[in-house]
Chain A
Amino acid sequence: MKKSVYINSVGSVSPQNTLDNSVFLDEIVNYEDTTLAVISPNYKEFIPPAAARRMAKGIKMSTASAKTALSEAQIEESAVDAIIVGTGLGCIGDSEKFIKDIIDNDEQYLTPTRFIQSSHNTVAGQIALGMGCKGHNFTYVHSSSSFESSLLDAKMQLEENEAKHILVGGVDELVDHHENTHRFIGHIKKTPVHTNALLTSKSKGAVFSEGANFFLLSNEKTNSVYSQLIALKTFNTIALERIESLATDFLSENNLSIKDIDLIVMGNNGDIEFDAYYDELSNNIFKETPQAYYKHLSGEFDTASAFGFWLANKILKNQNIPKAVQMNSIQPEKLQTILLYNQYRGENQSFVLLKGC
């Protein structure tokens, strides 16, 4: 018999004050920009200075986030059986610097530090080194479903009892060349957008950002439990006209219907070219369902859906939907079942189903 999978703790480094788990979006940090950076924690509280000096921003964000999650779950680091990380671009900053060094120095004088951090799996590796975790260590790189791929791996291992506790996270960093490239191809909004005006911006592109969101998933509850991971499904592409039927199919496969969903959390990023997927659901089959969104707070990046996952978990644990994330005025009678839906530019779409504990 398959075991149940629980999200026992969370850790989030984002453009909002999210690392302190004793508060939940009490004060929203408003921005008016086309890109957002994370609010950097005091990394010295999480990483010895000697180790931190060689760490890329993505590694530092992830370490702070992962350690926060482990601390909240109150389990020994040695109890973690596996570390699974999703990332769209890994530590892209050091990749860029390494390639620049190759070009600038005519393929000579290459040093190890930037090379070490220029691979996608550096984050999972560095967290494991810091914890002394010699278990399964895997990194999924699949654009905007990288985090969901990590979740799926963890879910299957926990259900089959191949592991008891797995640290799962999503991380991406925003750096110069990456930003410039996406600005050039029009994937970043041309004019600044206020946090509160993302959905009414009526312009192409998204507000780009970065972040690290980590979770301890286990096949047993701890005292800090947030939710139960019921199901998830990813799709490479979905035709707009099929999104409603696929959403209802996903619910049916889990013996649920639209009316069983207490809240739908969606990844709208204010891009007029692609928010139609979200509108299709929110204006039709889920129009009577309480709706929430989060990319006005987190910004858009390949693993932004991990912030959405963080949000849904916090909502279930706190039994409260912060006003800043409410997309419509419908209030839930209860907060027990949450459906998450995300896509980026019409691709790498995902549904995730969470249930309160």
Chain B
Amino acid sequence: MSALKLELKEKIIEQLNLEDLSVEEISDSEPLFGEGLGLDSIDALELIVMLDKDYGIKLADPKEGRKIFESIDTMAAYIEANKS
């Protein structure tokens, strides 16, 4: 699980162009949207595509994303439970 969390942080930094951040600066439980990393709706779309492309997980209902993308912890847990 910790390897997956590290991988997710690296992917988020690369795909969302968060060049000023390092993996150490993203905590596992920190909110990704809003007050935490401050991601926005375009980032949410990028993350949905990332789940599909890299982990084979399609989000049938984009509203699910609100809970899944809450933090690195919730993303990793969802991927572990659903990856194909």
Contacts and interface: CB of A to CB of B under 8 A. Distances in A.
Interface stretch (B25-33, B44-52, B64-72, B73-81): B44-52
Interface in A267-320: none
Contacts of A242: none
Interface string A47-71: 0011001100000000000000000
Nearest to A53: B17
B46 A112 contact: yes
A192 B18 CA distance: 35
A133 to B, nearest CB: 22
A184 interface: no
Contact of A112 (B17, B19, B45): B45
B45 A54 contact: no
Contacts of A53: 16-20
A113 B46 contact: yes
B52 A109 contact: yes
Contact of B46 (A50, A105, A111): A111
Interface string A95-133: 000000000010011111100100000000000000000
A116 B52 CA distance: 21
Nearest to A108: B53
Interface in A29-85: 49-50, 53-54
Given A111-B46, A112-B46, A54 B17 contact: yes
Interface residues of A, number: 12
A111 B53 CA distance: 11
B17 A111 contact: no
A105 B17 contact: no
Contacts of B3: none
Nearest to B16: A53
Contacts of B45: 111-112
Given A50-B38, A54-B42, A110 B49 contact: yes
Contacts of B53: 105, 108-109
Given A50-B38, A54-B42, A111 B49 contact: yes
A53 B18 CA distance: 6
Contacts of A50: 38
Given A53-B16, A54-B17, A105-B53, A112 B38 contact: no
Interface of chain A: mostly helix, strand, loop or mixed: loop
Interface string B1-40: 0000000000000011111100000000000000000100
Nearest to B53: A109
Nearest to B42: A112
A54 B40 CA distance: 12
Contacts of B38: 50
Nearest to A54: B17
A50 B18 CA distance: 8
A113 B16 CA distance: 9
A113 to B, nearest CB: 6
B32 to A, nearest CB: 14
Contacts of A111: 15, 45-46, 49
Nearest to B20: A49
Nearest to B15: A111
B40 to A, nearest CB: 8
A110 B42 CA distance: 12
Interface string A168-188: 000000000000000000000
A105 B54 CA distance: 11
Given A49-B20, A112-B46, A116-B42, 12 more contacts: A53-B16, A53-B17, A53-B18, A54-B17, A105-B53, A109-B49, A110-B49, A111-B45, A111-B49, A113-B17, A113-B42, A113-B46
Interface of B: 15-20, 38, 42, 45-46, 49, 52-53
19 contacts: A49-B20, A50-B38, A53-B17, A53-B18, A53-B19, A53-B20, A54-B17, A54-B42, A108-B53, A109-B49, A109-B52, A109-B53, A111-B15, A111-B46, A111-B49, A112-B46, A113-B42, A113-B46, A116-B42
